[in-house]
Amino acid sequence: MSTIAMGHAGTDAAPAEKKGLWSWITTVDHKRIGILYGVTAFLFFLLGGLEALLIRWQLGAPDKTFLSPEAYNQLFTMHGTTMIFLGVMPLSAMFFNYFIPLQIGARDVAFPRLNAYSYWVFLFGGLVLNASFLFNAAPDMGWFAYANLTSKQFSPGLNVDFWIIGLQILGVASLAAAVNFFVTIINLRAPGMKMMRMPMFVWMSLITQVLLLLAFPIITVALVLLMLDRNFGTHFFVPSGGGDPVLWQHLFWLFGHPEVYILILPAFGVVSEILPVFSRKPLFGYAAMVFSGCFIAFLGFGVWSHHMFATGMGPMADTVFSLGTMLIAIPTGVKIFNWIGTVWGGSIQFKTPMYFALGFVAMFIIGGLSGVMHASPPADLQQTDSYFIVAHFHYVLFGGSIFALTAGAYYWFPKMTGRMLSESLGKLHFWLMFLGFNLTFAPMHILGLNGMPRRVYTYSAGMGFEFWNAVETAGSLILGFSFLVFIINILKSLRSGAVAPADPWHGATLEWSIPSPPQEWNFAVEPTVDGRDPLWEERRKAGGTLPEPARVSGAGIHLPSPSYWPIITAFGTAMTLVGFLMHVTLWVILAGVAITMLGIFSWAFEPADH
Amino acid sequence: MALRTPSLRRVARWVPALCVALAVLVLAGCSPDAYPQTTLAPKADFAELLDTVFRRSFQLATIVFFLVEGALVWALFRFRGKPGDAEPAQTHGNAMLEVVWTVIPAVILVFIAIPTIQTIFKTAEVPTDDPLVIEVTGHQWWWEFRYPEYNLVTAGDMHVPVGRTVDLRMTTGDVVHSFWTPQLAGKRDVFPKRDNRLWFKTETPGTYPGQCAEFCGTQHARMAFQVIAQTPTDFDAWRVGIAAVSAPPDSGAPAPDPLVAQGQQLFATKACVGCHAVTAVGAPTMVGPNLAGIGSRSDIASGWLPNTDENLARWLKNPQAVKSGVLMPNLGLTDEEITALIAYLRSLSVVPAPGAVAMTAAGN
């Protein structure tokens, strides 16, 4: 029997609503940190989008001189780095933060202060990375930073160093957050929520945290080696000293390929929440969805060299990595079929979140199919490093991740803000984004197969690339405009949107059982769960409708107290790493370490106020 | 909604016409003829092997695309919810169905995997049919081609004979690059201190553009080259012609044009000679590309700038303004000096003399 008792706990005076900048700086509330992640990541996402628009403008016609080669190389490098590390990953982190505790029926994450620390480190990492623009030294060697172009000999400026340090700082944030969410999911589930009853978003998030924990140490080590090469005279990747540039490629993709799944698995989770709710029908093949996710993540660590077929690894390695990659198509296919199985036979409610979720499925299929094509090394020898690949991964990361995250934003916005977004603006956003996305990225398939290499700041007239590039640039403007509609929708809704009920979509999961937005303690009474779709079961028992949950007093509920030590510790961490930026600036490092130690010490011994 | 319907209908009238126009555009835009660097019209054995695998996977992917997207779109129309609908059947899954849609993709993949593996091993075999060995070296941002068989070196244009396998042994003088002539072969990266192999044999004479496909710094976009496939006779004429460029003049040679002589003098005194060799025979690798034959090449600055006097003058005036980041500095040449240098560079042309082939054949 499932009970989500919305008890009326106590009638003592409720704790005062926390307001003002200071309350945000010191917050340890997972919901506020989620919003901080979301707002910050969305701003970085817009910055990455602006970089993309500049790139597209430059490529709109052949031989353009709108951007210098140097500026172009900085922009494409920063576009990739920003979208991955400062856009999609933290946008996923917004949902992890806000909804993992709510979906598992917890009052917060396992380590609320560590959670705040993660956010601040992420913010500082993003700022350090982008501060490079102020020094005219933005990273300019591609987000993959292939050795030996990154050696001091060929990249003497600070560009590569900014990238190394920025990513190291961001890695700290990712690892701390991954530990936190992993422990949260394992330990803080509501009574009765067995692993195989967890919402699919929580499952995919759990797998993502495991990937983060295993993949980020690899890039951390690779970055340390690169830093040693550049500033301390070692030769890990420098051929003149006996090092091997191919080693970098192995280390980078050993991280980089699992990273692809870090970017897409949360999206799988979001879509697996939305499709059932708007089909009024449970997720099709729950167990298969869980195991295919695990299988994808596991295989994801064994296929990294499919990024390297052109390096000439030899036929045996090519064969093994090719077959491994093709194998991933099977669990991925299972997911797609199960999503279609979910809507099949349902009663589909065409609301904005559903539009974006279905857009995700439709676009992700295309990205998956082109992925199978270049899993075959002979085909890949023509496709790799061409625009065909650019098309492929934008169908996966934009058509996939961004469509799904946008779906999630429309789905959960009422819960997070207590306001409904406009449906008509939402649908306008969808159609503009769908049109703009396909106009921008579909022609890249054609260009790539017809010989346009990627990462080029221009192309010559007469290569035949003019027409589709012009189309793509036009498409990118529509795509950019669609996000303007999104922003207008958000701002309008925050000012004057309809007030959201607790459960505007007839959701299945626990977050819809509490008021919108949730009160600081989430659940006045800990819920108990005995099924996969607890709220649906509850509603069925109640004869179809549930009463609107009342906002209650939280007196007597223990919550972690706010603290400014996480931001101070984060500042110390970032400072320590910035000390390594050029030549080791010893006093910066020492001061950074001192601040970090002070922060950790004070945080550990800070008395909790009640 | 009621207000919008008529305008929608008016728009809808244009849909068929728009679709036809779009289809025509797409077809025109997809035709490989319009793309000199296309992968879809292979002109050599290596590229054909790759193309066969690509076509197989593309056909299968197209079928899967229409089936799966079709099922999705059909479901969206068929299962569109209407107000007042009863709760649909709460199916949780179907083991049989899930097994089927796990197995079918696996079977499809087998049909891609088999030709894939066959082709991997076929393309990995090193050719043994008396190939022409060419040593390829990538430089930031130009390509060098060395013909050990003829003790020749050149840059920018790789001349190959049709009907004979070309065996490329590739490395780099600086950072990682990738050698790519889509119509002839796939990409192969080049690494320092490593020999990477690629081969192809074409039967079709022609000029095949290629370019670097691995990001290699500022001017990665301008690291193009071309492969010029010639009949054996034309190829032999070329190699004899380029070997003769700037060869020491024999006693009977006519006196050079005074402008050319002035240019030659400038070439020796204005630091050009420090970085560029002007003979193709046995020349060492230098900082800049070998200039033997530069007078008659179609492009300068590595395969993208037409080799006109005007462009050469622009380049000599200030290379950094034409291709920023290249190693060649602004030499501060006067317009007069530039004119003389251009005359000299034009004299470094490959002029295949009639009968030259026969002569060298006899000489050999």
Question: What is the band of A197 on the pLDDT scale with cuts at 50, 70, 90?
Answer: very high
pTM above 0.90, yes or no: yes
Q: What is the pLDDT of residue A16?
A: 54
Q: Which residues of B touch A453 (CB under 8 A)?
A: 180, 211-213
The answer to whether the Cβ–Cβ distance between A288 and B325 falls below 8 Å is no
Strands B188-190 and B157-161, how do they pair? unpaired
Q: What is the pLDDT of residue A550?
A: 87
**Does residue B167 sit in helix, strand or coil?**
strand
- Helices A159-187 and A565-578, interaxial angle, to 10°? 140
Per residue in A308-354, pLDDT (tens digit) is 999 999 999 999 999 999 999 999 999 999 999 999 999 999 999 99
Question: What is the band of A259 on the pLDDT scale with cuts at 50, 70, 90?
Answer: very high
The answer to whether the Cβ–Cβ distance between A311 and B187 falls below 8 Å is no
> Does pLDDT of A9 surpass 80?
no
Query: Closest-CA residue in chain A for B59?
Result: A373
Q: What is the mean pLDDT of residues A487-510?
A: 96
Query: What does B27-45 look like in DSSP terms, one character per residue?
Result: HHHH-GGG-TT-SSS--BH
Q: What is the mean pLDDT of residues B163-172?
A: 96
Please give the share of chain B, as a percent, with pLDDT higher than 70. 89
Where does residue B282 fall: left (phi above 0), alpha (psi -120 to 50 degrees), or beta otherwise? left
Shortest Cα–Cα distance, A511 to chain B (Å): 21
The answer to whether the Cβ–Cβ distance between B91 and A379 falls below 8 Å is no
Q: What is the pLDDT of residue B253?
A: 55
Query: What does B203-253 look like in DSSP terms, one character per residue?
Result: -S-EEEEEE--S--STTGGG-EEEEEEE-HHHHHHHHHHHHHTTPPPPTTS
> Does pLDDT of B356 surpass 60?
no
Q: What is the mean pLDDT of residues B181-205?
A: 96
Q: What is the pLDDT of residue B13?
A: 72
B26's tokens? 């797409």
CATH class of segment(s) B132-236: mainly beta
> Does pLDDT of A143 surpass 90?
yes
Average pLDDT taken over every residue of chain B:
88
**A441 vs A399: CA distance, rounded Å:** 9
Per residue in B135-161, pLDDT (tens digit) is 999 999 999 999 999 999 999 999 999
Of residues B189, B192, B212, nearest to A311 (C-beta): B189
Question: What is the band of A19 on the pLDDT scale with cuts at 50, 70, 90?
Answer: confident
Those of residues 77-106 in B touching chain A at CB distance below 8 A are 79-82, 85-94, 97-98, 101-102, 105-106
CB contact A7 to B (< 8 Å): no
Q: What is the pLDDT of residue B248?
A: 57
Residue from A63, A291, A376, A541 to probe the interface with B (highest B Cβ count within 10 Å): A376
Q: What is the pLDDT of residue A545?
A: 84
CB contact A468 to B (< 8 Å): yes
| Sequence letter at residue B188 | R
The answer to whether the Cβ–Cβ distance between A453 and B180 falls below 8 Å is yes
Q: Which residue has the tokens 């922003």?
A: A487
Question: What is the band of A583 on the pLDDT scale with cuts at 50, 70, 90?
Answer: low
**Does residue A67 sit in helix, strand or coil?**
coil
Q: Say if residue B125 is exposed, middle or buried (CB neighbours under 10 Å; 0-12, 13-18, 19+).
A: exposed
Per residue in B311-344, pLDDT (tens digit) is 999 999 999 999 999 999 999 999 999 999 999 9
Query: Closest-CA residue in chain A for B107?
Result: A330
Q: What is the pLDDT of residue B355?
A: 44
**Highest mean pLDDT pick, A9-13, A440-444, A587-591:** A440-444
Question: What is the band of A606 on the pLDDT scale with cuts at 50, 70, 90?
Answer: confident
**A610 vs A219: CA distance, rounded Å:** 41
Classified by CATH at the fold level, domain B258-347 comes out as: Immunoglobulin-like (2.60.40)
Q: What is the pLDDT of residue B306?
A: 93
Q: What is the pLDDT of residue A585?
A: 82
Q: What is the pLDDT of residue A111?
A: 95
Shortest Cα–Cα distance, B15 to chain A (Å): 15
Q: What is the mean pLDDT of residues B206-227?
A: 96
Where does residue B301 fall: left (phi above 0), alpha (psi -120 to 50 degrees), or beta otherwise? left
**Does residue A130 sit in helix, strand or coil?**
helix
Of residues B176, B180, B325, nearest to A148 (C-beta): B176
Per residue in A82-116, pLDDT (tens digit) is 999 999 999 999 999 999 999 999 999 999 999 99
Contact call for residues A347 and B81 (beta carbons, < 8 A):
yes
Q: What is the pLDDT of residue B245?
A: 87
Which of these, B224, B180, B226, B186, lies nearest to B206 by C-alpha position?
B226
Those of residues 410-429 in A touching chain B at CB distance below 8 A are none
> Does pLDDT of A548 surpass 60?
yes
Q: What is the pLDDT of residue A553?
A: 82
> Does pLDDT of B358 surpass 50?
no
3-state SS of B192-205 is CCCCEEEEECECCC
The answer to whether the Cβ–Cβ distance between B65 and A146 falls below 8 Å is no
Question: What is the band of A460 on the pLDDT scale with cuts at 50, 70, 90?
Answer: very high
Query: Closest-CA residue in chain B for A140?
Result: B217
Residue from B58, B98, B222 to probe the interface with A (highest A Cβ count within 10 Å): B98
Q: What is the pLDDT of residue A3?
A: 43
Q: What is the pLDDT of residue A323?
A: 96
B298's tokens? 């179609």
CB contact B127 to A (< 8 Å): no
Strands B132-139 and B142-147, how do they pair? antiparallel
**A480 vs A498: CA distance, rounded Å:** 27
Phi then psi for B134, rounded to 5 degrees?
Answer: -125, 125
Q: What is the pLDDT of residue B362?
A: 36
Q: What is the pLDDT of residue A2?
A: 42
Q: What is the predicted ipTM?
A: 0.91
CATH class of segment(s) A33-548: mainly alpha
**A411 vs B279: CA distance, rounded Å:** 70
Query: Rounded to the nearest 5 degrees, what angle is found at the Cα of A601, between the Cα atoms of A600 and A604?
Result: 85
Q: Which residues of B touch A376 (CB under 8 A)?
A: 53-54, 57, 112-113, 116
Break chain B into its structural domains and give their ranges: 132-236, 258-347
**A544 vs A503: CA distance, rounded Å:** 13
Question: What is the band of A205 on the pLDDT scale with cuts at 50, 70, 90?
Answer: very high
Question: What is the band of A608 on the pLDDT scale with cuts at 50, 70, 90?
Answer: low
Average pLDDT taken over every residue of chain A:
93
The answer to whether the Cβ–Cβ distance between B192 and A239 falls below 8 Å is yes
Q: What is the mean pLDDT of residues A270-286?
A: 97
Where do the H-state alpha helices sit in A450-557? 466-496, 534-541
Query: Rounded to the nearest 5 degrees, what angle is found at the Cα of B161, between the Cα atoms of B155 and B165?
Result: 100
Please give the share of chain A, as a percent, with pLDDT higher than 70. 96
Q: What is the mean pLDDT of residues A151-177?
A: 96
Contact call for residues A400 and A363 (beta carbons, < 8 A):
yes
Q: What is the pLDDT of residue A319?
A: 96
Neighbouring C-beta atoms of residue A558, cutoff 10 Å: 10
Q: What is the pLDDT of residue A448?
A: 96
The answer to whether the Cβ–Cβ distance between A453 and B211 falls below 8 Å is yes
